[in-house]
Chain A
């Protein structure tokens, strides 16, 4: 049996519908229950539902063989994983946003950046040689500039609505993020056939083919 860790939240529904198209189905009632570990109808796969940032942890340690998680989370975690498939789901962008669009050119001295993605932010500004102070938050990052906590934010944007409603505009795009299939390095070898079956089923589903 293969264990797949799924990032809870926005990724979960897209991931489950893609898996269903690949012929891997979960009982809807069970999904809606609060159970955090489920088996699919064939009994070949076990699913665990965890916070996005924990998916790379479970997979890197081999507790889960595979996972479905956004590229944003992977960039932030720097976990050592295999990434055989871009699932193209839950597409969004990681951007730098500000209340004042000219803040980057006008600023003298150190800019403050509020973010949930401190690694990504540090790497982005570091590569440009911009001295910034990173302020790590765990949610509602869009509030920070309005309340004077920071000059900039680095955050995930899907439609841009939350940014607009909080008076922020995108000043730079760091990366695009989509849901990825991640695989543990040891499972990739030790459960090679089962992992290949999953990868091929998902690849066929992405190409619009019927499950075998």
Chain B
């Protein structure tokens, strides 16, 4: 529960407007989705584990509703249904609060956060991935954070390839993912026994182009190698835009969400103790609503950005 009053509210509005005007300049259309919808929608969109963090309640007819825990699910559904016949690609953006239950202990425990987000639907490949990365970079530059942010990129297929190579069942795969995510190199080595040595280094693969070379020396399954190839191509584009100082490849970033299918990204800003944004490619999502097509997007947390920008302004 958070109030914004006077100058703070103005700052928050300025940041929202800056992001929305960048989206607009890239031809992203604003979409406003319902705050309350049937819980099924979010379960289909986010998967049960994430959707369960939503606040749920019943309608007078007994059907289960939820306060939207994300916007992406609604946008994916509308793209697959109402807008099924529109020419592709679709470009959508939004500024909307989402509601989630969080453990009190967490730094990001707030129940309500406003997401500034975009979705590029019906476009696959490197150019689409690059487009959303450039958008994120442009918004952060517009907020005068150009020398203070870091966007980490990964391709979840790299992890999926390794997990398939190790032939892990579902619980073991989840434990493997968690150990990489928290960079527990020693535990990972113990967990994987004889395969341990090589794979435990997966926790340390964070950096620039050299990370890809290091990964190639460790991993040779076709699926992971294809992911490394596409990351390397993307990195070449990032370099040619001169953005390599603001980007990092982090092969240890293995997001919780089952729905990412390719690129995944996290956005960090100096002064914020947790990531201020995340996103990626989720080609499987719209298929849940009857029309499978590639899609990529990201969200920025408006409340976290307001805090960082506000604190920096106060310091100057």
Pairing of A with B = yes
CB distance from A96 to the nearest CB of B (A): 23
Can you name the residue of chain B whose Cβ is closest to the Cβ of A203?
B185
- Within 265-311 of B, Cβ neighbours of A (below 8 Å) are at 266, 268-270, 272-275
- Within 34-60 of A, Cβ neighbours of B (below 8 Å) are at 56-57, 60
Question: Across the interface, do B185 and A192 meet the contact criterion of CB distance under 8 Å?
Answer: no
Q: Which of A62, A82, A189 contacts B107 (CB 8 A)?
A: A62
CB distance from A191 to the nearest CB of B (A): 9
CB distance from B149 to the nearest CB of A (A): 9
Kindly state the interface size class of chain B when it binds its partner. Answer: 20 to 34
A194 CA to B152 CA in the complex, in Å?
Answer: 17
B residues in contact with A185, CB < 8 Å: 268, 274-275
A81 CA to B183 CA in the complex, in Å?
Answer: 9
Q: Does A12 contact B (CB under 8 A)?
A: no
Question: Across the interface, do A189 and B183 meet the contact criterion of CB distance under 8 Å?
Answer: no
A residues in contact with B105, CB < 8 Å: 56-57, 60, 77-79
Q: Does A16 contact B (CB under 8 A)?
A: no
Question: Across the interface, do A80 and B106 meet the contact criterion of CB distance under 8 Å?
Answer: yes
Q: Does B186 contact A (CB under 8 A)?
A: yes
Which of A57, A62, A189 neighbours the largest number of chain B CB atoms within 10 Å of its CB? A189
Question: Across the interface, do B207 and A81 meet the contact criterion of CB distance under 8 Å?
Answer: no
Question: Across the interface, do A189 and B182 meet the contact criterion of CB distance under 8 Å?
Answer: no
Take A84-B183, A192-B207 as given contacts and tell me if A186 and B273 are in contact as well, using a CB distance cutoff of 8 Å.
yes
Chain B positions 240 through 281: 1 when the CB is less than 8 Å from some CB of chain A, otherwise 0? 000000001010000000000000001011101111000000
A83 CA to B106 CA in the complex, in Å?
Answer: 16
B residues in contact with A84, CB < 8 Å: 183-185, 203-204
Q: Does B48 contact A (CB under 8 A)?
A: no
CB distance from A185 to the nearest CB of B (A): 6
A60 CA to B109 CA in the complex, in Å?
Answer: 11
Question: Across the interface, do B184 and A63 meet the contact criterion of CB distance under 8 Å?
Answer: no
CB distance from B274 to the nearest CB of A (A): 6
Kindly state the interface size class of chain A when it binds its partner. Answer: 20 to 34
CB distance from A6 to the nearest CB of B (A): 18
A63 CA to B273 CA in the complex, in Å?
Answer: 7
Question: Across the interface, do A82 and B183 meet the contact criterion of CB distance under 8 Å?
Answer: yes
Which of B107, B184, B275 neighbours the largest number of chain A CB atoms within 10 Å of its CB? B107
Q: Does B206 contact A (CB under 8 A)?
A: yes
A82 CA to B184 CA in the complex, in Å?
Answer: 7
Show the binding face of B for A, using Cβ within 8 Å. Answer: 103, 105-107, 150, 152, 182-187, 203-204, 206-207, 248, 250, 266, 268-270, 272-275
Pairs A–B under 8 Å by Cβ, sample size 28? A56-B105, A60-B274, A61-B273, A62-B272, A62-B274, A77-B105, A79-B105, A80-B274, A82-B183, A84-B183, A84-B185, A84-B203, A85-B185, A85-B186, A86-B186, A86-B187, A185-B268, A185-B274, A185-B275, A186-B268, A186-B273, A188-B206, A189-B150, A189-B206, A189-B250, A189-B266, A189-B268, A190-B268
Other A-B pairs beyond A56-B105, A186-B272, A190-B150, 14, CB < 8 Å: A62-B107, A62-B274, A77-B105, A78-B103, A80-B274, A84-B203, A86-B184, A185-B275, A186-B269, A186-B274, A186-B275, A189-B150, A189-B266, A192-B248
